[in-house]
A and B are shown apart, each in its own frame.
Chain A
Amino acid sequence: MATRTRPKRERSEYARKEARAAWLMLTPWLLGLALITAIPMVASLFLSFTSYPLLAAPTWVGLDNYLRLADDPRFLAALGVTFRYVFISVPLQLGFALTLALLLNRGLSGMRFYRSAFYLPSLLGASVTIAILWRQVFGKDGIFNDVLALVGIEGMSWIGNPSTALSTLIVLNVWTFGSPMVIFLAGLRQIPREYYEAAAVDGAGRFSQFRRITLPLLTPVVFFNVILQFIHAFQAFTPSYIVSGGSGGPVDSTLFYTLYLYQRGFTQFQMGYASAMAWVLLLIICVFTALNFFGSRYWVFYGDEK
């Protein structure tokens, strides 16, 4: 270490220079943190306690917005839809991601091709194009019904039916399993092969190798993916907006939380109400993430890491 052998004065002079440069480099970030993130956050917390129709000044209403949320049937519907979407699609998505990562990690030829083919949908999934495509695929004349017709089942409009519309959006999210899959693959590649070889010498079969080596050593990656994908899914917006034409229909069956927030805030301009919704969303995400971190103690394995 060159620094240690230098005279003290020169070092502290450089240290000061370094600190000054650091804050200079962090200036854009600091400005963004203050102007784009922190101050608006405080402001939206304040606005959530007001009635604010945008054109008139906000008036203080205390906890009114939050109390109204509890009685708002559309809000409760949005909450139900979003929870179902998140808690069904994310486990399915991660299940597919892990299964295919394991399959691809077998040293197969053409692995790169498959990896790319599976990864591509996760780049496209949030686009308006794919949402338009989904309307088509699961519509009355869609290709999903064409496939069903091959086996003699008469289809219907899966998008237009309130009891199936949400399922089509769940399928859409599962379709984007490529990005967690790539993360799983990277995690799998970090497990030293020697473990498997030694286990094989000890007479451990494929399945017990998976259960005793792969799964425990992969839990940190599973944990990372769970957090990431859940937070992501809670904020999904585009598919529900496009598939339902902005309404969340039929009968609010695709009314995502963010879509209802958009309707309240940016079509009805009830900024106070929308802010309260935003803070409830933040609270839900925080509670969920905290529970996850807390629970991770019991199932995430960090033993062999340095």
Chain B
Amino acid sequence: MAIARTAAKRISNNPDADTSRFAGAQASRFTRTLRHLLLITATIVMLYPVIWMLLSSLKPQEEIFSTGLWPESWTLENYTNGWNALQHGFGRFFTNSAIIAAAAVIGNLASCSLAAFAIARLRFRGNKLVLGIVLLTIMLPYHVVVVPQYVVFSSIGWVNTFWPLILPKFLATDAFFIFLMVQFIRSLPRELDEAARLDGCGPFGIYGRIILPLTVPALATTAIFTFIWTWNDFFTPLIYLNDPATHTVPIALSSFLDSTGQSSYGSLFAMSMLALAPIVGFFIAAQRYLVEGIATTGAKG
């Protein structure tokens, strides 16, 4: 690291250092074009399968495997057929998924932000230990607790209800988000708390009036990731939701896949695309929080 150290020394003697440009930006026009070509090709290769599925879902069934990428005739019949292809309509499955995801988002926001504020800002004995346990539980595979959880939840009659999927979120079990918010809250100036305290704010007042409004970026990241992970979750609903009326969208897709032959791939693709729509929608609306959110936790980890 000799270079880095001399570098640091040099900088302190060189007031002009900030104004000079980054080495990489000086590449010639040729290499720049080459890089763009490479990146565009990579983008197309990566997204091609998804685009293929989207366009296939808009073709008449018999065209899917016989024509090129672009549909010769456009149709929405796969969507209307697929919507009611199973015993219950997909409206039911989307509602189920939405209820579970919304409850999970609310649960995680409330429980994780409270825990994070206590860990990041309040002085109490065992503070470090609590944070240590939070970090440990991030690594814990779900499978180590799933069997006894299932035994308990089924013995109190919660199989085929949403409770086993929702309740844990209100008990701050997604430790990853606690960690994310602790990191974020720690980066806020402490003087704010002190000032609020001098004005007579208690810990709950500081949490609600000072910290929470400033934590919006971390809360947004938490909300979006919770939504996406819950929406995609397959393992937990597969275990707990056996009654078709309670199925979520991924489970419904899986049983659609089992029951379908080559003949109704169009509708299977159509419903699969609808299942992605909310995720892609959130992604487009909130990329900033997603990408930056991941970036801050990553950089601090």
Contact = CB atoms under 8 A, between A and B. Distances in A.
A212 B124 contact: no
B123 A35 contact: no
Given A126-B232, A224-B298, A231 B147 contact: no
Nearest to A266: B239
Contacts of B235: 237-238, 258, 262
A306 interface: no
A106 B25 CA distance: 6
A205 B258 CA distance: 57
A15 B202 CA distance: 11
A132 interface: yes
B276 interface: yes
A194 B7 contact: yes
Contact of B272 (A103, A117, A129): A129
A81 interface: no
Contact of B145 (A40, A123, A129, A216): A40
B43 A108 contact: no
A23 B124 contact: yes
A148 interface: no
Interface string A1-38: 11100000000001101110111011011011101110
A89 interface: no
Contacts of A258: 143, 235
Contacts of B148: 39-41, 43-44, 47, 275
A129 B49 CA distance: 11
Given A123-B228, A128-B254, A242-B257, A235 B143 contact: yes
Interface in B8-59: 8, 10-11, 17-18, 20, 22-25, 27, 32, 35-36, 38-39, 42-43, 46-50, 52-53
A15 to B, nearest CB: 6
B7 A195 contact: yes
A245 B258 CA distance: 7
Interface in B42-78: 42-43, 46-50, 52-53, 65
Interface residues of B, number: 107
- Majority-rule SS of A interface residues: helix
B102 interface: no
Contact of A129 (B36, B141, B229, B273): B273
A303 B46 contact: no
Contacts of B35: 103, 106, 108
B156 interface: no
Contacts of A199: 3, 7
Interface string A164-190: 000000000001000100110111001
B163 interface: no
Contacts of A43: 147-148, 151
A25 B207 contact: yes
A301 B3 CA distance: 14
A198 interface: yes
Contacts, number: 321
Given A3-B194, A120-B283, A278-B143, A28 B115 contact: yes
Contact of A213 (B4, B52, B110): B4
Interface stretch (A68-76, A135-143, A151-159): A135-143
Contact of B143 (A107, A114, A281, A289): A281
B1 interface: yes
A106 B46 contact: no
Contacts of A3: 194
Given A119-B291, A129-B272, A107 B25 contact: yes
A149 interface: no
A265 interface: yes
Interface string B258-301: 10000001001100110110011001000100110011101101
Contacts of A14: 197
Smallest CB-CB A-B distances: 6 pairs: A32-B171, A183-B298, A198-B7, A186-B295, A21-B203, A43-B148
25 contacts: A21-B203, A22-B127, A22-B203, A25-B122, A26-B115, A28-B172, A32-B171, A36-B168, A40-B145, A40-B146, A117-B43, A119-B290, A121-B47, A124-B276, A132-B257, A132-B268, A133-B49, A137-B49, A186-B295, A199-B7, A202-B3, A212-B1, A213-B3, A238-B235, A278-B144
Interface of A: 1-3, 14-15, 17-19, 21-23, 25-26, 28-29, 31-33, 35-37, 39-41, 43-44, 47, 54, 100, 103-108, 110, 114-121, 123-124, 126-130, 132-134, 136-137, 141, 143, 175, 179, 182-183, 185-187, 190, 192-202, 204, 206, 209, 212-213, 216-217, 221, 224-225, 228, 231, 234-235, 237-238, 241-242, 245, 258, 261-262, 265-266, 271, 274-275, 277-279, 281-282, 285, 289, 301, 303-304
